[in-house]
Amino acid sequence: MSETHTIFKSIGVVGAGQMGSGIAQVLATYGLSVVVHDLNETVLSKAQASMEKSISKLIEKGKIRETTSVILGRIKFSSSLEDLAKVELAIEAASENKEIKKIIFRKLDALLAPTAVLASNTSSISITELAAATKRPKLVLGVHFMNPVPLMKLVEVVRGQLTDDSTVNRVATLLALIEKQTIFSKDYAGFIVNRILMPMLNEAMFTLYEGVGTAEDIDKGMKLGTNHPMGPLELADFIGLDTCLSILEVLYDGFKDPKYRPCPLLKNYVMSGLLGKKTGRGFYDYSQKAGV
Ligand SMILES: NC(=O)c1ccc[n+]([C@@H]2O[C@H](COP(=O)([O-])OP(=O)(O)OC[C@H]3O[C@@H](n4cnc5c(N)ncnc54)[C@H](O)[C@@H]3O)[C@@H](O)[C@H]2O)c1
C-alpha cells in the first residue's frame, strides 16, 4: 500500500472535513505527499485526530502495514492556502457551496503553476462552471470520492465541457494506483450517483414528514426489504444533511423539475443546525453513541 509514484509529486487538498481528511489520508497511505488546507487550526486538528483514529483501525484490521506516524508524516496541515503553491494537483473538498468553490478555484488558478490540475470533489456542482472561474478549463475536472473515502472503492470522474483527455487519463491513473474503481460521468447536475441517490433519500424524508412511517421503520424497510446496507435516513445523516440539501438544490435548479424539490423537513433540520452524524444529531441522535 505504500508504493510511491510520480504522476503527481505533491497533492493539495482544500477543505479538511469528512471528505478532505479521508482523501488526504488515502493519498498519504499510498506514499504521496499531501498539503491539507482548511480555514483554521481547530478544523485541522480535528481532521488530524480523525485520520489517526481511522488509520489505527485499518492497522488493527491488517489493511495498512506502516505506522500512523509514518503516514501522517507525509501530510502537512496548513491554514494558509499559499502552502499549496507548489502542488501539481489540487483537490477541492470544501463545503458544497458554489460561491465558496468558485472563490477557491480562482485563488488556486492564480497560485498554482499553469500546468497544475484542479479537481473538485463536489457531489453535484457544475465542473464546467468551476472551470470557467479559471484560465485553465482543460485542466479542471471532478473527482467525486465516496464517504468514507478509506473504505469506499468508487470515484466518479466528471469531465467538464473543456476538460482534455490527458487530464482525465492522468487522474484516472492516479486513482488506479490508490486502488479506486472509477466511473466516468458527463457534467450534468448530480452526475450519475447523486442524481439517482438523492431523490431516494429525499423521498424517505417526505415519507417521514408526511407521517407515513417512523424513521426506524423507513430505514428498516429499505434495509431488509430492498437489501440496502444502510437505511436512507441513516445514510443522509452520515452524508450530512447540509450536503444533502445543497445537492438537492443543485438538482432542482439544474433541471427545473419539481421531483427534486427538497423536503421541508430537511430544510428545517439544516436551519436548526441538525446536520446529522457530524453534529451529533440529525434524523437520529448520535450524542450518546460514540462511534455510531
Ligand atoms: N459527505 C459526503 O458523504 C460526501 C460524499 C462525496 C462528496 N462530498 C462532497 O465533498 C465536499 C466536502 O463535503 P464534506 O462532507 O467533507 O463537508 P464538511 O462539512 O465535513 O467539510 C467541509 C470543510 O470545508 C471547509 N471550508 C469551507 N470553506 C472553505 C474555504 N474557503 N477554504 C478552505 N476550506 C473551507 C470547512 O471548514 C469544512 O472543514 C462537498 O463538496 C461535498 O458535496 C461529500
Distance between CA atoms of 273 and 125, rounded to whole angstroms?
22
DSSP per-residue letters across 11-29 = EEEE--SHHHHHHHHHHHH
At the topology level, CATH places domain 10-186 in Rossmann fold (3.40.50)
Contact 49, 71 (CB under 8 A): no
Residues spanned by CATH 3.40.50.720 within the chain? 10-186
pLDDT score for 290: 42
pTM of the model: 0.91
How do residues 121-145 score in pLDDT, each as one tens digit? Answer: 999 899 999 999 999 999 999 999 9
- In 3-state terms, the chain is what percent helix, strand and coil (to 5)? 50, 15, 35
* Cell 465542473, located at residue: 127
194 is catalytic: yes
CA distances (Å), origin 123, targets 3, 37, 114, 177, 244: 29, 20, 26, 23, 9
The CA 240 to ligand 1 mean position distance, Å, reads 10
Residues spanned by CATH 1.10.1040.10 within the chain? 194-279
Residues 6+ apart with CB under 8 A from 226: none
How do residues 22-38 score in pLDDT, each as one tens digit? Answer: 999 999 999 999 999 99
- pLDDT of 260 > 80? The answer is yes
Q: Does domain 194-279 have CATH number 1.10.1040.10?
A: yes
Assign 81 to helix, strand or coil. helix
Question: To the nearest whole number, what is the mean pLDDT of the chain?
Answer: 95
**Does 139 contact ligand 1 (Cβ within 6 A)?**
no
What value, to the nearest 5°, has the Cα angle with vertex 105 and ends 270 and 167? 115
Task: Give the β-pairing of 140-145 and 154-159.
Answer: antiparallel
- pLDDT of 288 > 80? The answer is no
Grid cell at residue 284: 437520529
Q: Taking the CA atoms of 165, 102, 19 and 281 in sequence, report the sign of the dihedral they define.
A: negative
Atom of ligand 1 nearest to the CA of 18: 16
From 123, 124, 126, 185, the catalytic residue: 123
